[in-house]
């Protein structure tokens, strides 16, 4: 492996558009034939009155019905598999942040290709075998654990499976093992910094950290910049989901401007979540993915429920794989309050512009006197909470900027640092206590 080469898989990463389309078509045909080994897809195709041979171009893909999370649930645990169970070597089950569990099966080949994808992402942001990679993801069923473990090992890094939580121990590992690359969810990266400060540890002076991989939950550009500033690192956004193996689906390159989604692994569509028609290029819609090299459980036109858009234009890094914008959230994260649609990330974007505020916040929806209301509690940086007049000024200013953004005037509560509940996994940003009518 040429350590100075920018690419992990040069021949695949630098494919031009024509090359990508040719490869996608070949792999799509293979995938469709293979899907006929699955009872689920055989039935789906029969019901829709189509055969794999009807799909001749990438546009023809639209003839195939969508696959949804509900399909995975209805066929729990093994109903969508395309190979014999004895040829599967691992399963991951989604915790179901939003419902019943689902199962994803993997063959040996699936695991190899997954590790290749993760290694490609990590190489892209400058990770090399001389790096020490510490993974603060939960292991077990959560794919951020084993997914990054095997990818980082394949690349050749010394890989520390620190797993989630136990922040003091994480920090000790940084200093003992000389960790240079950390993988963490954004809320946890901020938490690690707070604990470092409490311990009198300066990440720039006392650790060798220089790269952070953050993902698994929506976060704003300002949040990223803050975390970079805190830890003295470059932070790269990483997107994945268990249905698509896990991490390694889309990842930022060094340009930090959108995440390349690997088009030799996936066909990308962005559709209007209501009409399910494609949206014009550059517009936000629901991400729909078709897997191109999965063996145990290929998925066709899978509705991810994640909202994003394709960034227009070419990336200066030389990769032609399209770039996805930051995730706006899942369609089911959307808050509907007084008929207005609001994504928690819109609120975060406003809050993180105030340097007086720390990174943790909690949105509570409540019914008071038959009226639905929103309260935003947000932690302050270390400031004088007794200076009542300036706190009030700050509250007013936050309220008014939020009103401009979400068209609703929430109650703002400024709270001391570290007073909001912390979670070890993905941050819980919304508490909905509204009465259901």
Residue 310 within binding range of Zn ion, rule CB under 5 A: no
Residue 315 within binding range of Zn ion, rule CB under 5 A: yes
- CB of residue 371 to ligand ADP, shortest distance in Å: 31
Per CB under 6 A, which region of 36-44, 169-177, 240-248, 427-435 contacts ligand ADP?
A: 240-248
Task: Give the footprint of Zn ion on residues 247-286 (CB under 5 A).
Answer: 253, 255
Residue 185 within binding range of ligand ADP, rule CB under 6 A: no
Residue 239 within binding range of ligand ADP, rule CB under 6 A: yes
Among 71, 217, 264, 286, binds ligand ADP (CB under 6 A): 217
Per CB under 6 A, which region of 154-162, 216-224, 288-296, 412-420 contacts ligand ADP?
A: 216-224
Residue 327 within binding range of ligand ADP, rule CB under 6 A: yes
Contact flags string 127-146 toward ligand ADP, x per CB under 6 A: ----------------x---
Residues that contact ligand ADP, how many (by CB under 6 A): 19
Residue 218 within binding range of ligand ADP, rule CB under 6 A: yes
Q: What is the 3-state secondary structure (H, E, C) of the chain?
A: CCCCCCCCCHHHHCCCHHHHHHHHHHHHHHHHHHHCCCHHHHHHHHHHCCCHHHCCCCHHHHHCCCECHHHHHHCCCCCCCCCCHHHEEEEEEECCCCCCCEEEEEEHHHHHHHHHHHHHHHHHCCCCCCCEEEECCCCCCCHHHHHHHHHHHHHCCEEECCCCCCHHHHHHHHHHHCCCEEEECHHHHHHHHHHHHHCCCCHHHHCCCCEEEEECCCCCHHHHHHHHHHHCCEEEEEECCHHHCCCCCEEECCCCCCEEECCCCEEEEEECCCCCCECCCCCCEEEEEEECCCCCCCCCCEEEEEEECEECCCCCCCCCCCEECCCCEEHHHCEEECCEEECHHHHHHHHCCCCCEEEEEEEEEEEECCEEEEEEEEEECCCCCCCHHHHHHHHHHHHHHHHHHHCCCCEEEEECCCCCCCCCCCCCCEEEECCCC
Residue 97 within binding range of ligand ADP, rule CB under 6 A: yes
Residue 15 within binding range of Zn ion, rule CB under 5 A: no
Identify which of residues 319 and 426 has a Cβ nearer to Zn ion in the complex: 319
Task: Give the footprint of ligand ADP on residues 303-322 (CB under 6 A).
Answer: 304, 306
Residue 72 within binding range of Zn ion, rule CB under 5 A: no
- CB of residue 251 to ligand ADP, shortest distance in Å: 9
Task: Give the footprint of ligand ADP on residues 275-304 (CB under 6 A).
Answer: 304
Identify which of residues 319 and 328 has a Cβ nearer to ligand ADP in the complex: 328
The residues binding Zn ion (CB under 5 A) are: 253, 255, 315, 317, 319
């Amino acid at each position: 492996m040429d350590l100075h080469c920018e690419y992990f898989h040069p021949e695949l990463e630098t494919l031009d558009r024509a090359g990508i389309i040719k490869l996608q078509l070949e792999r799509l045909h293979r995938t469709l034939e293979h899907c006929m080994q699955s009872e689920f897809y055989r039935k789906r195709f029969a019901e829709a009155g189509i055969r794999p041979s009807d799909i001749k171009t990438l546009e023809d893909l639209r003839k195939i019905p969508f696959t949804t999370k509900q399909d995975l649930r209805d066929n729990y645990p093994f109903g969508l598999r395309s190979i014999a169970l004895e040829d599967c070597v691992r399963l991951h089950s989604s915790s179901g942040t939003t419902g019943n569990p689902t199962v994803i099966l993997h063959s040996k080949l699936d695991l190899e290709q997954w590790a290749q994808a993760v290694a490609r992402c990590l190489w892209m942001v400058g990770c090399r075998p001389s790096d020490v990679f510490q993974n603060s993801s939960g292991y077990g069923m959560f794919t951020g654990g084993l997914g990054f473990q095997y990818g980082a090992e394949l690349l050749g890094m010394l890989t520390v499976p620190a797993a989630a939580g136990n922040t003091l121990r994480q920090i000790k590992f940084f200093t003992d093992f000389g960790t240079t690359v950390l993988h963490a969810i954004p809320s946890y990266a901020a938490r690690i910094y707070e604990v470092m400060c409490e311990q009198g540890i300066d990440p720039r002076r006392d650790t060798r950290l220089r790269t952070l991989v953050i993902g698994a939950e929506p976060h704003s550009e300002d949040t990223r910049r803050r975390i970079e500033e805190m830890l003295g690192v470059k932070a790269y956004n990483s997107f994945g989901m268990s249905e698509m193996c896990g991490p390694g689906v889309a990842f930022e390159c060094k340009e930090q401007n959108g995440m390349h989604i690997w088009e030799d692994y996936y066909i990308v569509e962005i559709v209007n979540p209501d009409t399910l028609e494609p949206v014009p290029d550059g517009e936000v819609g629901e991400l729909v993915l078709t897997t191109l090299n999965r063996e145990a459980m290929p998925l066709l036109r899978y509705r991810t429920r994640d909202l994003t858009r394709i960034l227009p234009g070419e990336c200066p890094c030389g990769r032609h794989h399209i770039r996805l914008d930051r995730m706006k959230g899942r369609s089911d994260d959307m808050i509907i309050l007084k008929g207005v649609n609001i994504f928690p990330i819109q609120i975060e974007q406003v809050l993180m512009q105030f340097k007086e505020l720390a990174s943790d916040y909690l949105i509570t929806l409540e019914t008071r006197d038959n009226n639905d209301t929103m309260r935003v509690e947000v932690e302050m940086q270390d400031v004088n909470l007794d200076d009542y007049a300036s706190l009030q000024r700050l509250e007013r200013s936050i309220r008014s900027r939020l009103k401009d953004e979400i068209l609703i005037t929430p109650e703002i509560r400024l709270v001391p640092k570290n007073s909001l509940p912390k979670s070890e996994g993905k941050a819980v940003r919304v508490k909905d206590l509204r009465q259901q009518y």
